[in-house]
Structure 1
Amino acid sequence: MLDVVALGELLIDFAPVSTDAAGYPTLAAQPGGAPGNFLAALQKYGCTTALIGKVGADRFGELLKATLAEKDIGTRGIVADPAVFTTLAFVTLDATGNRAFSFARKPGADTCLRADEVDTALIDEARVFHFGSLSLTDEPARAATRAAVAHAKEAGKYISFDPNLRRPLWPGEAAAKEQIEWGLRQADIVKISDEEIAFLWGLSPEEGAGKLLAEYGVQLVYATLGPRGCHFANRQGCGEVASPAGIRVVDTTGAGDIFGGSAMSRFLKTGKAPAALTVEEMRAITRFACCAASLSTQSHGGINSVPEKAAVQALLEA
């Protein structure tokens, strides 16, 4: 039995480590992709996981699969396709460590996953099925994702969704909103940022969380607030947790995904339905996730930046 199976992009993040006299950056390759980052946190904190997706039959694809295997994330559902390149993302960082992305994805392997390539037996083995909006940007991956979600719902799995908005990957705002709205309506558990709530509805995080609970059928919402922390809510109540102070931010790449995976790991330990969590249980889950995500920003990359559980516990106690 698996705790969580995710579907979506597995890619290489190229992040700047220095700049030459002419202004050209020296880049370091890091394993990433939101679902991979999400699963790496889950695996680090005691859960069993697997990824469904597609990479190129190239050296980067081989490296990514090897990295997941080293993290004990199941790779049976990853297809290596010789017809396309492994997706690449180029990250730029500002003075505070916040990142922006440019993608080599026209197409990238992740967008080429077909419905007949989805290993539905992995979904059958899982307690939770997770996906994000990047697998909804292009066909055939969009159809594959929708088929996988339908299979998971029919099998009675909890559905987890992260909008993970990347504007350059969409043909326009209307297309992004349409597909993200579809994803939100499928989900039991949603991790969404304050920026994504503003993009979709022009609402505050608290209002957006309430809208998801009242109108979308979502049972549990984490509305992240960047460096300020996170607002959490279900039908039992809501609250807010501040991020820990004193964290020196190097790179925020993957921090939201690591928050989501960390929160999911703590949620699964409760053994309860998402709608049944008390406010104090949600607060404890969110505190752990905020600490894990904050610590992850002290190093570069996504998959490799998940902090050890002992470091998270020490920060919680401090």
Structure 2
Amino acid sequence: MKNRVYTIGEALIDFIPNEIGVSLKDVVGFKRVMGGAPSNVAIAVSKLKGNSTFISKVGEDAFGSYIIDKLKEFKVDTSWVYKTNKAKTGLAFVSLKDDGQRDFSFYRNPSADMLLSEEEVEDINLKQGDILHFCSVDLIDAPVKKAHKRLIEKALKTKTLISFDPNVRLPLWESSKSCLDAIREFVPYAHILKISDEELNFITGIEDNEQAIKSLFIGNVEWVIYTLGSKGSLIVTKDNKRFEFPGFDVNACDTTGAGDAFVGALLFKLLAKSMNILSLKNIIEEDLKEIFRFCNAYAALTTTKNGAVDAMHTMEETIEFMENLS
């Protein structure tokens, strides 16, 4: 598979609690794990034997070195991960509720990823058949936002598929309005837009889900993928086709990284099928069923272990899981 998924944005350290069902202020001990949605997606693609490149900046500190080591361990290309002494690697402290849901507290003001510049992505050569993926955390008013815009310009010029998962994290923004403005600014650039059930009404401002999804078809958007956690996922196409795919019933212990696992599985499948902008428009229902059954399974399986990247499974493990449920 010569084509490649490029992800751009934050990589940070998640501190996961040793206890479940305890509020963050009462957690006594944490386990250090690598996090950050774009880096998680790159690792998911690589674990499934796809080619992935992560684009970011980390601090010249122990946490930055750990992130680069982990990316290399998972065979993600780190050619475009820079180091800086002008800021530290970002940190996130997480608490886990009994149902696997999370609360976050972030330390990144600024963090190294925010300092990635447009000049540092200038020599990245995207091509048709590749996929560029980004999220909203690094769309803040910082150099990294310009880096995103420059890479998106290059992707549009080369007809590279563009994927956007807003992955809303309001504690990282000065206000909910600044987060919303940034997301709405970047939605029209994407060919594929992934929205969770928790984000749809916030991003669109529309209470009715059907109308809210329809409102997202602006600019380049061809697919809106609406994820519903354990209930599965829904895809709506620009020409108003609608397909629902059920989830998988598992004993979830930690939902950290499940959305990233879903996106990673999706981008891997699109890469494997050599999808481009035209084939997004013409994909047949049988192919959609095969793709989204796999994505739902991969995301569900991720919730059965703690952490994000360490909970992501191989292709063989995912196929075995799906076969056992058939």
Identify unmatched segments of 5+ residues in structure 2. Answer: none
Provide the rounded CA distance (Å) in 1 between the counterparts of 2:119 and 2:28: 40
Which amino acid is 2:317 matched to? A
Distance 1:311-1:205 versus aligned 2 partners, 3 A rule: farther
What corresponds to 1:283 in structure 2?
A: 289
User: Is contact 2:128–2:161 with CA below 8 Å preserved after alignment?
Assistant: no
Spell out the pairing of 1:100-179 with structure 2 (5 A cutoff): 100-118=103-121, 120-124=123-127, 127-179=130-182
- CA distance in 2 between counterparts of 1:207 and 1:11 reads 35
Instruction: Answer yes or no: is the 8 Å Cα contact 1:165–1:196 preserved in 2.
Output: yes
The residue number in structure 1 matching 2:37 is 34
Looking at structure 2, the residues matched to 210 and 163 of structure 1 have their Cα atoms a distance apart, in angstroms, of 17
Distance across 2 between alignment mates of 1:82 and 1:217: 38
Alpha-carbon distance change, 92 to 126 in structure 1, aligned in 2, over 3 angstroms: farther
- Contact 1:236–1:275, Cα closer than 8 Å, also in 2: no
- Is 1:69 the counterpart of 2:75 in the alignment? no
Cα contact 2:266–2:292 (8 A) shared by 1: yes
- The 1:285/1:207 distance shift into structure 2, 3 A limit, reads farther
2:212 aligns with one of 196, 203, 208: 208
* Residues in 1 aligned to 2:213 and 2:240: alpha-carbon distance in whole angstroms: 13
Q: Given the alignment of the two structures, is residue 252 of structure 1 paired with residue 273 of structure 2, yes or no?
A: no
Give the counterpart of 2:300 among 281, 288, 294.
Answer: 294
SS at match of 1:152: helix
Mapping for residues 77-116 of structure 1, pairs under 5 Å: 77-116=80-119
Pairwise CA distance, 1:216: 3.8
Q: Is the 8 A contact 1:236 1:279 kept in 2?
A: no
Deviation at 1:76, TM superposition (A): 0.6
For normalisation by structure 2, the TM-score amounts to 0.91
Q: Distance in 1 between matches of 2:130 and 2:115?
A: 26
Q: Give the whole-Å Cα distance in 2 for the aligned partners of 1:298 and 1:140.
A: 37
Give the CA deviation at 1:2: 3.9
Residues 104-135 of structure 1 show CA distances to partners (whole Å, capped at 9, x for unaligned) of: 01111111111112253243597111111111
Residues 119/297 of structure 1: CA separation in 2 closer, same or farther (3 Å cut) = farther
CA contact (8 A) 1:251 1:300 kept: yes
In 2 relative to 1, CA 277–126 (structure 1 residues): closer, same or farther, beyond 3 Å?
A: closer
Asked if 2 retains the 8 angstrom alpha-carbon contact of 1:115 and 1:145, the reply is yes
Number of residue pairs the alignment of both structures matches: 315
Taking only aligned residues, the RMSD between alpha carbons, in angstroms, comes to 1.9
Tell me the CA shift for residue 162 of structure 1: 0.6
Q: Does 2:182 align with 1:183?
A: no
Q: Secondary structure at the match of 1:298?
A: coil
1:192 pairs, out of 165, 188, 195, with 195
Cα deviation digits, residues 156-193 of structure 1 (max 9, x gap):
21111110100111111221111101221100111111
- Give the conservation status (yes or no) of the 8 Å contact 2:122–2:150: no
State the partner residue of 2:314. Answer: 308
- Residues 132, 161 of structure 2: 8 Å contact kept: yes
Which region of structure 1 is more displaced relative to structure 2, 129-138 or 197-206? 197-206
Cα distance in 2 for residues equivalent to 1:154 and 1:229: 34
Question: Contact (CA 8 Å) 1:102, 1:168: kept in 2 or not?
Answer: yes
Structure 1 stretch displaced more, 178-187 or 278-287? 278-287
TM-score w.r.t. length of structure 1: 0.93
Within 2, Cα distance between the matches of 1:115 and 1:127?
A: 20
**Are the aligned partners of 1:10 and 1:34 in contact in 2 as well (CA < 8 Å)?**
yes
- The CA distance in 1 between the partners of 2:184 and 2:100, in whole Å, is 29
Instruction: State the distance in 1 between where 2:32 and 2:295 align.
Output: 26
- For 1:196-252, what per-residue CA distance to the aligned partner results, in whole angstroms no more than 9, with x for missing partners? 111122345444333323x3431122110122111112237221112111x111111
The letter for the 2-side match of 1:142 is K
For 1:35-75, what per-residue CA distance to the aligned partner results, in whole angstroms no more than 9, with x for missing partners? 11111111122210101100001111111101111111000
Matches within 5 A, 1:37-56: 37-56=40-59
Aligned equivalents of 1:228 and 1:285: distance in 2?
16
Q: Which residue of 2 aligns with 1:237?
A: 241
Question: Does structure 2 retain, via aligned residues, the 8 Å contact 1:258–1:306?
Answer: yes
